[in-house]
Chain A
Amino acid sequence: VSGDLPVTRRALLAGGAAAAGAALLRPSPALAQAAREAGALTNLLRIELVAVFAYDEALRRLGGEAARLARSLREHEAAHAEALSEALTAMHWPLPRSPEAVDEVELPSVRVALDGDDAAAGLVEVARLSEQAYRLAIGRLREAGHIQLAATILGAEAAHLVAWRAVR
């Protein structure tokens, strides 16, 4: 029995050290909230970067009115990406990288659409997914400035869908 004591003591010490380590590693509620906020913004930025890439891809094949619309809306998407990048930079958060090829596009339905015959289909799909993503993100974000940023962009994405519906 006497031999058990050192083992128990060691176990207690080890357990205590592990608990102390876990406490040190566990982020404070404020840090955890900041990480959630930044995570939500990062997801939105990823979609915007995909959108800009999708417009660049589609513009190689589009012509006429659809191309004029695509050029105009691409600028909107680029402005959204810039605004989200600024928000993340202000939080000292790393920025995701843009896709450089179709197979790097993280959204499977957009990837499939971009590989298809209808050049605008990928753009419609991006706008549809963006609209959904912003609605969900608005529920998750906490900072008033970020919520308003997402809200204004959500409005723009809804308008993009209307525009594409009319042109196609």
Chain B
Amino acid sequence: VVRRRALLGAAALLAGCGSEAAPAPRADEQQGGDSSLADVALLDDALAAERRTAGVLPRAAAHVAALERAIARAGGEARPDAGGAQAGDAEAAAGELVAFYVDLLAKVADPRLRELVAGMLSDAATALATAREMPAPHAFEEGRRPA
């Protein structure tokens, strides 16, 4: 109920994002306590997601650099860019990132990495609102429809 209400409150962002974020077991619980290894894998996923938005979202390059640094600090090695499909438009890319980060945040074990990812979620939400030209109340009202 709490999550549903929160989603309603944040509906302007999450409408259409497909953010049916089921609470997942924390990464450290999932991986038998090896949280840093699990976190690196999650950051690597985030890195791939951010790379797909390069040239589409304004903060993508900064996020990619920050994620590469965080992976290195955690003792991991960032996977090379595998290429693949680039995001088409800013609204869809930002929407996917918001949903992705909401899910990811519940799995990252290291509090500092969670703060880092939270900043990226905030940037993605900002990009989504900007792309949707959200200032008019209408946009928010429209966003209140169940996703």
Which A residues contact B (CB, under 8 angstroms)? 65, 68-69, 71-73, 76-77, 79-80, 82-83, 86-87, 90, 131, 134-136, 138-140, 142, 144-145, 147-149, 151-159, 161-167
Contact = CB atoms under 8 A, between A and B. Distances in A.
Nearest to A143: B23
23 contacts: A68-B137, A73-B140, A76-B10, A77-B9, A139-B114, A144-B24, A147-B106, A152-B6, A153-B6, A154-B118, A158-B123, A159-B13, A159-B126, A159-B128, A159-B129, A159-B134, A162-B130, A162-B134, A162-B135, A163-B134, A163-B135, A163-B140, A166-B135
Given A139-B111, A147-B114, 5 more contacts: A138-B115, A148-B102, A152-B13, A162-B129, A166-B135
Given A72-B137, A156-B12, A83 B122 contact: no
B10 to A, nearest CB: 4
Q: Tell me the interface secondary structure of chain B in the complex.
A: helix
Contact of B6 (A68, A69, A77, A83): A83
Contacts of B25: 144
Indicate the member of A65, A79, A139 with the most B CB atoms within 10 Å.
Answer: A139
A164 B36 CA distance: 39
B119 interface: yes
Interface of B: 1-3, 5-10, 12-14, 19, 21, 23-26, 98, 101-103, 105-107, 111-112, 114-115, 117-119, 121-126, 128-130, 133-137, 140-141
A155 B98 contact: yes
Contact of B3 (A68, A77, A149, A159): A149
